[in-house]
């Protein structure tokens, strides 16, 4: 019966169009849908225009064969932090059949808010009933306007923050910048306003991002603490399945991602997927992940640890978790 229906459909295509020509004018042809472009190498941020999904309009035939789906605003967002492990978490989560996520960072709530929610929704992948739409943009956590904007979209949005030892995070942040701008000043010179007095330059973003307690206070004005999950960047490396178990529970998902999905890559120094989303091959994050850090003066490292300690203690109290950074 199905093949008979297809035969009748395509047979009618020619004759029916002829009838339309002899009678009322045929309706204008719809523009062909834009091709859906594949995301780039994980770890590299692609332009949003390259990441946009195909238009919502779909023919009955394509809908029949490819399945239906709806573009929805995200129910969960990975909001931070930069160089904490957000890309790894997103790639791991995309293995789950009930998670659909944007590959690139939309930067909607910090850089593109004026484009409107319709533009934001159009970036999202199609999802079926029961699937979760997600995105990740680590700079949201340190963007003052982001909490109010996300709350305005949906007060029920679940938020995930991947945090990491703020000293290590700062060095990793600097290492990334150094790879793009080899002539920048040394880490030691950027760390201090005055090296003689030991005064830390908190205006430097690499330092400022790691004051997690300060940023969290802003989020708690709009979201209860129970609506924010804090993932340890260190445990994401040492026990990825354990951290992914917590994330799946938080999102209300069945625990499908387990130890069997990971293997440890000694060369990269972190876990990789045995099979990535849509692939049967092992997959590690791109070459921009796992860079070798420069040697930093240990006196400067210790001064930074002393600086961050009270902020870390406050962050532990606020979250109810001891991340063991001291």
Q: Which residues are annotated as a binding site?
A: 83-87, 164, 172, 289-293
Considering 71, 83, 136, 158, which one is annotated as catalytic?
83
Region class of 107: left (phi > 0), else alpha (psi between -120 and 50), else beta: left
**Locus of tokens 């941020």:** 45
Angle between helices 86-93 and 240-250 (to 10 degrees): 70
DSSP class of 227: G
The Cα–Cα gap between 17 and 13 comes to 6
What are the residues facing 78 on neighbouring strands? 136, 160
The token duo for 249 is: 């529970």
- CA 102, 105, 109, 114 dihedral sign is negative
What are the residues facing 158 on neighbouring strands? 76
Strand locations in 191-325 (E):
192-194, 199-200, 228-232, 262-265, 270-273
Q: Which residues are known binding-site members for 3'-phosphoadenylyl sulfate?
A: 83-87, 164, 172, 289-293
- For residue 129, whether the previous peptide bond is cis, meaning omega lies within 30 degrees of 0, is no
The Cα–Cα gap between 155 and 162 comes to 21
38-46: Cβ within 8 A, 24+ apart = 39/103, 39/104, 40/103, 41/286, 41/287, 42/87, 42/91, 42/103, 42/283, 42/285, 42/286, 42/289, 43/87, 43/285, 43/286, 43/287, 43/288, 43/289, 44/286, 44/288, 45/104, 45/105, 46/103, 46/104
β-bridge pairing 270-273 and 192-194? unpaired
The Cα–Cα gap between 71 and 102 comes to 11
> Does the annotation count 83 as an active-site position?
yes
Point out the residues that are catalytic.
83
């Amino acid at each position: 019966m199905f093949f008979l229906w297809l035969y009748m459909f395509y047979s009618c295509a020619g004759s029916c169009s002829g009838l339309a020509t002899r009678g009322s004018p045929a309706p204008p042809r719809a523009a062909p849908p834009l091709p859906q472009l594949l995301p780039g190498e994980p770890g590299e941020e692609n332009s949003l225009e390259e990441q946009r999904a195909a238009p919502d309009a779909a023919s009955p035939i394509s809908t029949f064969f490819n399945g239906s789906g709806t573009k929805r605003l995200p129910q969960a967002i990975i909001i931070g932090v930069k160089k904490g492990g957000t890309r790894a978490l997103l790639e791991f989560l995309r293995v789950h059949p009930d998670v659909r996520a944007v590959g690139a960072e939309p930067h909607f709530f910090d850089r593109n808010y004026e484009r409107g929610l319709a533009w934001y929704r159009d970036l999202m992948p199609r999802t079926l009933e029961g699937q979760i739409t997600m995105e990740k943009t680590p700079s949201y956590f340190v963007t003052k306007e982001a909490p109010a904007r996300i709350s305005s979209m949906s007060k029920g949005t679940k938020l995930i923050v991947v945090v990491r030892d703020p000293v290590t995070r700062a060095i990793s942040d600097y290492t990334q910048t150094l790879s793009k701008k080899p002539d920048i000043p040394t880490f030691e010179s950027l760390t201090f306003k005055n090296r003689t007095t030991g005064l830390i330059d908190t205006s430097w973003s690499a330092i400022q991002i790691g004051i997690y307690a300060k940023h969290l206070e802003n989020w708690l004005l709009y979201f209860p603490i129970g609506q924010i999950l804090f993932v340890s960047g260190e445990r994401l490396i040492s026990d990825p399945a354990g951290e992914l178990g917590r994330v799946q529970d938080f999102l209300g998902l069945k625990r499908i991602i387990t130890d069997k999905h990971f293997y440890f890559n000694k060369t990269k120094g972190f876990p990789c997927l045995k099979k990535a989303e849509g692939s049967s091959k092992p997959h590690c994050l791109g070459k921009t992940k796992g860079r070798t850090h420069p040697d930093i003066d240990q006196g400067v490292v210790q001064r930074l640890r002393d600086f961050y300690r009270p902020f870390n203690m406050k962050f532990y109290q606020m979250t109810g978790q001891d991340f063991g950074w001291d």
